[in-house]
Amino acid sequence: MSHKFQYLLRLGDNCLVLSQQLAAWCGHGPALEEDLALTNVALDLLGQARLWLSYAGEVEGRGRDEDALAFGRDGLDFRNLLLVEQPNGHYGNTVARQFLFDAWHRQLLAGLCESSDPRIAEIAQKAVKEVRYHVERSAGLMIALGNGTALSHARMQDAVNMLWPYTNEWFDSDAIDAQCASAGVAPAASSLAAAWRADVETVLGRAGLTTPTYTGHQRGGKLGVHSEHLGRLLTALQFMQRAYPGAQW
């Protein structure tokens, strides 16, 4: 399969899986305003997933649309980063996961706005406007919770420490990344690391949180090697189409 198709799956799957994670908070948020805000972020990501997966289906040329790619693939065929499939946990875990992803997502989309593929550039230009808000919101929550009570501070530090090993996967470059970068389709994966780290360290500093020094990392999501958490998530996500294939309502 083409490197562009695989890359588009990565983009779409990140948004789809994280959207599903955030949707689980609907009706369970810590405050009504926050409940609504998080649901809106989930909807933004779902819309982005549809655009990426729809284009992926066109590039593949096998007649699969965004619904077929979202609901008809098994876990081994998903290409999302490991971070986005980590459990929601308590609200601090969700906030930390969101911020770490948002800071990277904004850098990636800014690079994709300059893609040699006009369709990718068009989607990125739309998505980056939404993601700028996502970063502002999640960074604000990191700062508020980090500077809150002793308990909220401790929970946020624990959340950052727990999720940190999953962040360096983003900057690993494999054959798919290298081919897309060479063709000008996407920025080089490693080129996003410095700006991401600078943004994250600034926010963690304002939150009174310590940037982890751990340098090892978990990898495999981009190649379809996932944690057990993804299987549980897909069970809920794909239930209707698996139980009633092709159902329309």
Domains and CATH numbers, the chain: 3-243 (1.20.1260.10)
Tokens found for residue 147 = 């500077």
Q: What is the pTM of this model?
A: 0.95
For the stretch 227-239, pLDDT in tens is: 999 999 999 999 8
Q: What pLDDT score was predicted for residue 149?
A: 97
**Burial classification of residue 182, based on how many CB atoms lie within 10 Å of its CB (0-12 exposed, 13-18 middle, 19 or more buried):** exposed
| Percentage, residues of the chain above pLDDT 70 | 99
Closest-CA residue to 105 (of 49, 161, 149, 152) = 49
For the stretch 111-157, pLDDT in tens is: 999 999 999 999 999 999 999 999 999 999 999 999 999 999 999 99
